[in-house]
Amino acid sequence: MTTIDRHETADVVIAGGRCAGSATAIGFARAGRRAIAVDRARFPSDTLSTHVNFPSAVAELQAVGALDRVLAYDPPRCTHGMVEADGARCLQRFASVDGIDYGICLPRPQLDMALVETAREAGAEVRERTSLEEVLWTGGRVSGVVVKESGGERVQIDCKLLVGADGRRSTVARLVGAERPYRGSRNERGCAFWYMDDPKAGTEWRERLIQLRSGDTHALIFPCPDDRVLCLFMGPAVDIPRFRADPDGMWEAMLDANPAVRERLGGATNLTKLRSTGDNVAFFRRSSGPGWALAGDAGHFKDPIIGQGIRDAVRFGRLLGEACAPVLDDPAAVDAAARAVEARRDKECNASYHWGNRESRVFGVSPIIQEALVDLDGQDPPLLLHMFDRIQTPHAVLNPIRGGKYALRALRRPGADRGAIVREALTELRIDKDVWREQLRPRFRSGRVTASERADYQWPPRTPGTKAVEPPADVAVADSAEPAAVTA
């Protein structure tokens, strides 16, 4: 039996204090609720991330009241986005989302610190170096938690709602029986990144968020404060052990393989230690139940190659707090509100989930994509960037009509591999059919495998080439009943 050193009461306990956790705490605290967020980290601290915030994500930081603190770090305001694939380039200016027409990249120690400070200002408690150890139940409903503080004291906190905002390997999800996803897709790409001094400081490149494709690897390059820049290589996940074994050698190999990256970053100095991951399995978990809910990556994770995680973590954490706070004293109502936010998240994130699955496939530079980039370059409205900003869905922008046009142009190229182009077009059509069907006829917590998904993923996820760990028993139960609607 656990020895309890102190006993407290709160309206809501949130496991995790980063993007989703702080945003959730802000939503509850602004409504006058006592919110306690606990996190094992001491802030500021780093974490794996693509770091990027497109205008729609910056708008979410504005919505929770953290933007002034974020901008105080003076991140470059990137007004343009660019995708290039072996010389075919699309450069566009971002449209405005809620008055924000720029993207930013801020290292996670600063970004998370800004959110934590905003949560505290709103009235929430954020307790660092504190870990959740046990979930308490009363009558089949979560009624509290036991947490362990840095000094070793164990504190029981009774609460009306427990929110797990503790990442992909969520302790809350495990303790409430929702650890194993009900749908997911195996990633084929890993992620390896460094920060460094920007050799293009003072130039127009500091105003661009860019993706450079060559061979089977995408390079994502985002300017950071203090004339620094972030470079992420997202190539085959099986290459991640090589990055870890020889970071310097792989850096040079990546520059050799992609001349556009060498042009942008050649001569960069003061590289940090490599950070990497190869276990980017995308998934949806059951994210609400009696007295509990999941937020951020704990409930849903899409491949980071499309840079949507921070935006969704902040957005749906905030919405969860705003929806549940007014009804927190009514158990049935708060469960219904959490369930409705989950349904809204799933509906809004479905298209980007499939897009991430598409981009996570390992493939060479596609002549169809090259034709798309050439066609979309400089267009107003900026349709390519609308995809990143969630203004339009990827399957609406690159729809079968446009896709067919680009495929025909690719087929007319001298020396075109017509068989490969036709196979690619047919594959994309099959994916489009499934995505459109899910959009037009959504099913809550559907476990149906679609054409974008590689359902042979391993759980728990692991980097290819490392030792496997046996997954736990599948105790999650999918529930297909439709929830109530949630308003913004």
Domains (range + CATH), the chain: 6-75+107-185+282-357 (3.50.50.60), 366-440 (no CATH)
Helix H or strand E segment including 15: strand 12-15
Closest by CA position to 189, among listed 229, 243, 230, 255? 243
Q: In what order do the strands lie in the sheet with 88-93?
A: 88-93, 80-85, 208-214, 217-224, 228-234, 191-197, 275-277
What's the one-letter identity of residue 203? T
Q: 32: Cβ–Cβ under 8 A, 6 or more apart, which residues?
A: 123, 325
Helix axes 331-360, 309-324, angle to 10 degrees: 170
Closest by CA position to 283, among listed 330, 221, 346, 336? 346
Q: How does pLDDT run across 263-313, given as a tens digit for each residue? A: 999 999 999 999 999 999 999 999 999 999 999 999 999 999 999 999 999
Closest by CA position to 255, among listed 203, 217, 198? 217
Say how many CA atoms lie within 13 Å of 460 toward its Cβ. 15
Alpha helix stretches (DSSP H) within 361-399: 367-376, 383-388, 394-397
Residues of the chain with pLDDT under 70: 1, 465-488
Is the dihedral angle over the CA atoms 392, 393, 396, 400 positive or is it negative? positive
How far is the CA of 420 from the CAs of 62, 106, 156, 216, in angstroms?
A: 45, 40, 60, 16
Q: How far, in Å, CA of 198 to CA of 29, rounded?
A: 40
Supply the DSSP string of 98-145, one letter for each residue: TTB--BEE--HHHHHHHHHHHHHHHT-EEESS-EEEEEEEETTEEEEE
How far is the CA of 233 from the CAs of 208, 254, 325, in angstroms?
A: 17, 8, 41
Asked if 416 and 370 count as a contact pair (C-beta separation under 8 A), the reply is: no
Q: What residues pair up with 289 in beta bridges, in sequence order?
A: 292
Asked if 58 and 67 count as a contact pair (C-beta separation under 8 A), the reply is: yes
Q: What residues pair up with 222 in beta bridges, in sequence order?
A: 230
What's the one-letter identity of residue 52? V
Q: What letter would DSSP give residue 97?
A: B
Q: What is the pTM of this model?
A: 0.94
Q: How far, in Å, CA of 339 to CA of 290, rounded?
A: 10
Supply 422's token pair: 């036709």
Q: How does pLDDT run across 372-401, given as a tens digit for each residue? A: 999 999 999 999 999 999 999 999 999 999
Closest by CA position to 270, among listed 253, 245, 251? 251
Q: How far, in Å, CA of 311 to CA of 440, rounded?
A: 24
Q: How far, in Å, CA of 444 to CA of 450, rounded?
A: 15
- pLDDT at 77 (0 to 100): 98
C-alpha of 391 from chain center:
17
Burial class (CB in 10 A: 0-12, 13-18, 19+), 123: middle
Asked if 13 and 163 count as a contact pair (C-beta separation under 8 A), the reply is: yes
- pLDDT at 488 (0 to 100): 34
Asked if 100 and 59 count as a contact pair (C-beta separation under 8 A), the reply is: yes
Computed over every residue of the chain, the mean pLDDT equals 94
Closest by CA position to 36, among listed 155, 136, 206? 155
**Long-range contacts formed by 461-464: CB under 8 A, 24+ apart:** 461/168, 461/187, 461/279, 461/280, 461/281, 462/278, 462/279, 463/190, 463/237, 463/240, 463/241, 463/277, 463/278, 463/279, 464/190, 464/237, 464/238, 464/240, 464/241, 464/278
Q: What letter would DSSP give residue 78?
A: B
Supply 201's token pair: 């400081």
- pLDDT at 483 (0 to 100): 39
- pLDDT at 480 (0 to 100): 34
Supply 458's token pair: 């391993």
Helix H or strand E segment including 37: strand 35-38
**Residue-wise over 328-337: b if at least 16 C-beta within 10 A, else e?**
beebeebbbb
